[in-house]
A and B are shown apart, each in its own frame.
Chain A
Amino acid sequence: MQADLGLRGRITAPVRADGSPATVVAAVTARKAVRSGVLWGYLFGIAIASSETSYVRLYKTAAQRQALAATYATSKATSALFGPAPQLQTVGGFTAFKISMTLLILGAVWGLLTSTRLLRGEEDGGRWDLLLCGQTTRRGAAAQAIAGLGAGLVTLWVVTAVIALLSGLPSSVGIGAGPSLFFSLAMVATAAMFLAVGAATSQLAATRRQAASFGAVLLGVSYGLRLIADAGLGLHGLLWASPLGWVEELQPLTSPRPLALLPIVAFTAVLAVVAVHLADRRDVGAGMVADRDHGQARLGLLYGPSGLAIRQLRATVVGWWVAIGLSALIYGLIAKSTGATVSGSVREVLSKLGAPGNGAAAVFGVCFLVEAILIGFVAAGQVTAARSEEAGGMLDHFVVRPVSRSAWLGGRLLVALVVLVLSGVAAGVLGWLGAASQHTGLRFTSLLGAGINLVPTAIVILGIGVLTFGLRPRATSTVVYAVLGWSVLVVIVGGFGSVGHWVLDTSVFHHMASAPGVPPDWEANGIMTGIGVAAALVGGLAFRRRDLQGA
């Protein structure tokens, strides 16, 4: 007999049950992971297809392709940034060189955020408790969730592979099915590894934020080791100490080495097993890493919403500053030696990448694009943190007290602005320190200006985020990361000139001068800052007039 729940006439769609009761965790996790995998797979596939198409259109003759290959084969800067560049005279070699590193980092970020969200995030939200009341155990639920994440990974690979396969078919591109599938597999390898990393750190950490931070540190170290290994400093062996290095060793589309899949598969499998094992050895809601439940009151920053925001975000922001500062320092250290390789034809290519000029300054101009992307992520993180405070209901505590919405948002934005400016300053100062130690000859003011030149693009991202927050708060995170992801994609893919100018204009990074290769364009910076501020003002006004909305 069916119970009358008093819902007759209110339900217009049938309630769907996902799978059997014993596999409901896997089904619920898979549904979310697959949805995300489709979207990101599409982005990955489009990036691959765009790269292949742009090469065919831009480098039509064998002479042009040889010139390109000669340029990058000796460039230590691009090798450090994007990895080595063998066989640039082929579509495959060019594609692998141009987009691999971007996709590998995006894949790792996707894997880490997806697994920590669907494991630790569900646990933090109390939904894991409900699932564990079903026909499963802690160990079983963790295994099921990892299986669900695996479904998302397979989706990511399949969607990427289908697009790569189709785009490789034309004779002008000429990449066969096997190489396309293997390349797609390589491109999602970091996603697999960092899904497993996230699963393991979700067992170690006490909160989702902490779990993601642990994984981010590993990703940062991994990138740093790979960068040093590829910088031509005689430390190539370091590549085997980095998960990003293992993927580089696959050398898809140039000289495939499937054996290099072994450490990747082993790393992923071991971490997945460890995650399942740890899930059985801890209390639900607690982490393996001891976390103090008691503490002396530290009231220093707790004078209001802005002070609290500084306290809550400082660990994350300092982490970003370390990443930005260290990478700028490394760019400074390698700028002189790599700049020495720049000559006539190379200068032309650097110019296409947006950094006309010569020597170390031009190399810095290209390298600082990465810094701008990192600072863009800082901006996106600031606005999504503000939205999280509203979605979680914490904002209510302030606005039911004598704090206006404008004061709360204004305080958050001021904190964000200071963080962004200091991020730019950190990039400039640390870059100068590295360059000065190598007697590069670049002036402090020049690099400080180049650092500050990175801030306006981040202000645009911040402004778009606030605008979305004001008008469609639940879409804040999606929109701000989509704008950032799109901008990165367009500036990297379009940097080689085959994309229409109107498409390039949609990337915030396209409007940034590649200082110090060229002087900062303060007029463009002023316009970008103005757009960001205007968007934030409109968003702020909309926020004042709307209902507060939960998750």
Chain B
Amino acid sequence: MSDTALRTDGLTKHFGDVVALDHLDLEIAPGEVVGYLGPNGAGKTTTIRLLLGLSRPTGGRAEIFGLDCQRQPVQAHRRLGFVAGEAALWPSLTGAETLALLGRVHGGVDEAYRDELIERFDLDPTKKVRAYSKGNHQKVILIAALMVRPDLLVLDEPTSGLDPLMEQAFRHCVHEAKDRGQTVFLSSHMMSEVEALCDRVGILRDGRLVEMGTLAEMRHLSALNVEARFDGPVPDLSVVPGVSAVETDGSLVRCQVRGSIQPLVQALASAGVTDLLSREPSLEELFLAQYGADGRAG
């Protein structure tokens, strides 16, 4: 029995001269919910296709519960469920037929849970796939993955096309999966979703994993946002050690502080601060700090 749900060692993929994924080393423990972030083209979907055996690696290897993703795909796939953000289904089948087919192919369907999911996601299974909206299409794919209660859920933009209510239903399902000890690998552009669901987050840039850790760990790497209001003259905080990005708006000062907050607290106290607000950076801010405000790799 493997003590890792998912592991990659130097996983690499080239498309001609383009390096889509560069020596990815990743380890996810059973029961963890891990977010996987990166802009378009960073290599997220390439990673997932390599994990699923849909693409062949140029170098390195990947394992799911100790099973080699390339050499033992059938055994590995018995233990996973996959949701793609954009996946075509068979237009002439109804939702119920699609779920029956995919359930039979995978095996181990929890029928009561499937019916509950159909109700929870408000899906009409008698409708043909070609008549489904994009959101309903996505619901079928989600239910098909969740209904077999796999040990590992690999989710690639899973809430694409879902309305806010259904997104909430999805989050509830992920929490349930986590409570049951299932592992979740979630690739998403929705920072709020990742922030709400994930124990750890990895950030991918140009095919390389540039950050990996819990949100708390990552926040230590980033600046703390501080807002202070004064009833007297506004001090020059830019000279305080660790302080940067100082903006003054009348009696209000905004700045960021890295490392120890002690020098800033002393400077504020001596200047007669009347109101103080400090806020940890959101995941979105952490992500943008990695890529720059324009969303491009910096």
A302 to B100, Cβ gap below 8 A?
yes
A297 to B100, Cβ gap below 8 A?
yes
- Is B2 an interface residue when CB atoms closer than 8 A count as contact? no
- Is A400 an interface residue when CB atoms closer than 8 A count as contact? yes
B 54-81 binary contact with A (CB < 8 Å = 1; else 0): 1110000000000000000111011010
For the complex, give the distance between the alpha carbons of A302 and B99 in Å. 10
- Is A298 an interface residue when CB atoms closer than 8 A count as contact? yes
Across the A-B interface, how many residue pairs have beta carbons closer than 8 Å? 97
Given the interface contacts A295-B126, A296-B126, does A545 sit within 8 Å of B56 by beta carbon? yes
A404 to B54, Cβ gap below 8 A?
no
The minimal Cβ–Cβ distance linking B268 to chain A, given in whole angstroms, is 40
Given the interface contacts A292-B128, A295-B128, A298-B97, does A404 sit within 8 Å of B90 by beta carbon? no
For the complex, give the distance between the alpha carbons of A292 and B77 in Å. 35
A206 to B74, Cβ gap below 8 A?
no
B90 to A308, Cβ gap below 8 A?
yes
A393 to B74, Cβ gap below 8 A?
no
Query: Chain A residues near B84 (CB, 8 Å)?
Result: 393, 396
B104 to A303, Cβ gap below 8 A?
yes
Query: Chain B residues near A400 (CB, 8 Å)?
Result: 52-54, 77, 80, 82
- Is B282 an interface residue when CB atoms closer than 8 A count as contact? no
> In the complex, what residue of chain B is closest to A400 when comparing beta carbons?
B82
B56 to A547, Cβ gap below 8 A?
yes
- Is A14 an interface residue when CB atoms closer than 8 A count as contact? no
B88 to A392, Cβ gap below 8 A?
yes
For the complex, give the distance between the alpha carbons of A207 and B130 in Å. 10
For the complex, give the distance between the alpha carbons of A295 and B130 in Å. 12
Considering only residues 89-105 of chain B, those with a C-beta below 8 Å from chain A are 89-94, 96-97, 100-102, 104-105
A305 to B105, Cβ gap below 8 A?
yes
For the complex, give the distance between the alpha carbons of A393 and B84 in Å. 10
The minimal Cβ–Cβ distance linking A395 to chain B, given in whole angstroms, is 9
> In the complex, what residue of chain A is closest to B84 when comparing beta carbons?
A396
B102 to A401, Cβ gap below 8 A?
yes
> In the complex, what residue of chain B is closest to A301 when comparing beta carbons?
B101
> In the complex, what residue of chain A is closest to B86 when comparing beta carbons?
A393
Query: Chain B residues near A293 (CB, 8 Å)?
Result: 127-128, 130-131
- Is B254 an interface residue when CB atoms closer than 8 A count as contact? no
For the complex, give the distance between the alpha carbons of A392 and B82 in Å. 17
B87 to A393, Cβ gap below 8 A?
yes
A 277-295 binary contact with B (CB < 8 Å = 1; else 0): 0000000000000001111
- Is B259 an interface residue when CB atoms closer than 8 A count as contact? no
Query: Chain A residues near B171 (CB, 8 Å)?
Result: none
Query: Chain A residues near B104 (CB, 8 Å)?
Result: 302-304
For the complex, give the distance between the alpha carbons of A123 and B130 in Å. 12
- Is B107 an interface residue when CB atoms closer than 8 A count as contact? yes
- Is B296 an interface residue when CB atoms closer than 8 A count as contact? yes
- Is B219 an interface residue when CB atoms closer than 8 A count as contact? no
B105 to A304, Cβ gap below 8 A?
yes
> In the complex, what residue of chain B is closest to A210 when comparing beta carbons?
B92
- Is A398 an interface residue when CB atoms closer than 8 A count as contact? yes
- Is A166 an interface residue when CB atoms closer than 8 A count as contact? no
For the complex, give the distance between the alpha carbons of A396 and B53 in Å. 10
- State the 8 A-B residue pairs at the shortest beta-carbon distance, nearest first: A293-B131, A297-B96, A547-B55, A393-B88, A302-B101, A400-B82, A401-B106, A402-B78
CB pairs A–B below 8 angstroms (27 shown): A294-B126, A295-B94, A295-B126, A295-B128, A297-B96, A297-B100, A297-B126, A299-B100, A302-B104, A392-B88, A393-B88, A396-B52, A397-B87, A397-B144, A399-B54, A399-B73, A400-B82, A401-B77, A401-B102, A402-B75, A402-B77, A402-B105, A404-B74, A546-B56, A547-B54, A548-B49, A548-B54
